[in-house]
């Protein structure tokens, strides 16, 4: 029995394609990548059993000419596991699509927030508009949404000084 080159080539190709797909941000591609990697690994297990032979059934073949049955048992287990987890992953991806209408690897917002916070060395470099609302300095233009608010702030700071503003529409107060 000569060793075959087909199996290693297929395994290598599957691994390469699987890793490439896994690097994508789209979750469906990640899932496909995982499936390819799983199949490649199963083929690797299969090839670890050595050369082909006859079915390992007592009375059907002599022990010397049997295929090693052990890797096949391992592969069956591995296939079941990969199948179950792929189904779960697919369900999760579908759930992600239902929730946020996108199926890409998400961003850890808290992580980004911490990174932004630690990078903030010089006050001049900050664009307050990019900060989360709770991080903005008090009195920043964005925290005051209307003229009425500015007026109210002034009235608070300078009590007793009448406002020069004549008729502010108070209706919904800039609650656009």
Partner 1 sequence: MISVLTPLPVLLPLLGAAAALLVGGRHPGVQRALSILVLTAVLTVSVVLLVIADSDGAASVSVGGWPVPLGIVLVVDRLSALMLVVAATVALGVLVFAVGQGSADGDEETPLSIFHPTFLVLIAGVANAFLAGDLFNLYVGFEILLTASYVLLTLGGSAPRIRAGITYIVVSLLSSLLFLAAIALVYAATGTVNMAQLAVRLQELPDGTQLLLQSMLLIAFAIKAAVFPLSAWLPDSYPTAPAPVTAVFAGLLTKVGVYAIIRTQTLLFPGGAFDDVLLWAALATMLIGILGAVAQTDIRRILSFTLVSHIGYMVFGIALASTAGLAGAIFYVVHHIAIQTTLFLVAGLVERQGGSTSVDRLGGLAAASPLLAVLYFVPAMNLAGIPPFSGFIGKVGLLEAGVDDGGWLPVAVVVGGAVTSLLTLVAISRVWNRAFWRPPAQSPARETAEAAAADAGPELQPAAVAADAPGAADTDDAAGGSTAGGGRQAARRAAWQRHTAVATDSAPATGDRAGGRSRERPLHPLPRVMVGATAAMVVVTVGLTVVAGPLYGVAERAAEDLRDRTPYITAVFGSEEPQ
Stretch of 1-9, 54-62, 122-130, 138-146 contacting partner 1, by CB under 8 A: 138-146
Distances (CA, A) of 171 to 59, 74, 96, 153, 163: 94, 73, 41, 18, 18
Of 2-10, 58-66, 99-107, 120-128, the window that binds partner 1 (rule: CB under 8 A) is 99-107
Q: Which of 16, 62, 140, 149 contacts partner 1 by CB under 8 A? A: 149
For residue 89, the surrounding DSSP H or E stretch is helix 69-100
| Residue 3 sits in the site that holds partner 1 (CB under 8 A) | no
| Tokens representing residue 68 in the block | 């090693």
Q: Decide if residue 170 touches partner 1 (CB under 8 A).
A: yes
Where on the chain is the footprint of partner 1 (CB under 8 A)?
22, 27, 30, 34, 37-38, 41, 44-45, 47-50, 70-71, 74, 77-78, 81, 84-85, 88-89, 92-93, 95-96, 99-100, 105-111, 113-114, 117-118, 132-134, 143-146, 148-149, 151-153, 155-156, 159-160, 162-163, 168, 170, 173-175
């Amino acid at each position: 029995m000569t060793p075959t080159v087909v199996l290693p080539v297929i395994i290598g190709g599957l691994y390469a394609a699987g890793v490439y797909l896994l690097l994508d941000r789209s979750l469906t591609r990640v899932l496909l990548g995982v499936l390819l990697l799983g199949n490649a690994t199963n083929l690797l297990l299969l090839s670890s059993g050595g050369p082909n032979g006859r079915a390992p059934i007592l009375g059907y073949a002599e022990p010397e000419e049997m295929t090693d049955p052990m890797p096949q048992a391992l592969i069956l287990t591995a296939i079941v596991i990969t199948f179950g987890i792929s189904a779960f992953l697919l369900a999760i991806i579908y759930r992600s699509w239902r929730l946020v209408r996108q199926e890409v690897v998400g961003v850890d917002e808290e992580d980004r927030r911490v990174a932004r916070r630690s990078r903030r060395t010089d006050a001049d470099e900050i664009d307050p508009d990019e900060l989360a609302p709770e991080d903005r300095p008090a009195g920043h233009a964005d925290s005051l949404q209307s003229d009425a608010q500015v007026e109210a702030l002034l009235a608070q700071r300078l009590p007793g000084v009448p406002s020069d503003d004549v008729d502010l529409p108070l209706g919904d107060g800039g609650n656009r």
